[in-house]
């Protein structure tokens, strides 16, 4: 089971990732009901 402290840490990390990203995706990797990894795939659009 995930503690509230662990959940808040994950949410903080996701917020930080989102604040720097214009286009892309964030993937949560879950194992045994726990988030074990976050992956950020960022796209750069050229004009």
Q: How many CB atoms lie within 10 A of CB 29?
A: 10
Q: How high is the pLDDT of residue 39? A: 97
Q: How high is the pLDDT of residue 28? A: 95
The structural domains of the chain, with segments of one domain joined by +, span 4-43
For the chain, how big is the Rg over CA atoms in Å?
13
Q: What is the pLDDT of residues 1-47, one digit of tens each?
A: 778 998 899 999 999 999 999 999 999 999 998 899 999 999 998 98
Q: How high is the pLDDT of residue 2? A: 75
The Cα 7–Cα 5 span in angstroms is 5
């Amino acid at each position: 089971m995930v503690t509230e402290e662990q959940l808040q840490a994950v949410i903080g990390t996701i917020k930080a990732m989102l604040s720097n990203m214009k286009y892309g995706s964030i993937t949560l990797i879950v194992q045994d009901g726990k988030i074990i990894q976050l992956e950020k795939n960022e796209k750069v659009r050229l004009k």
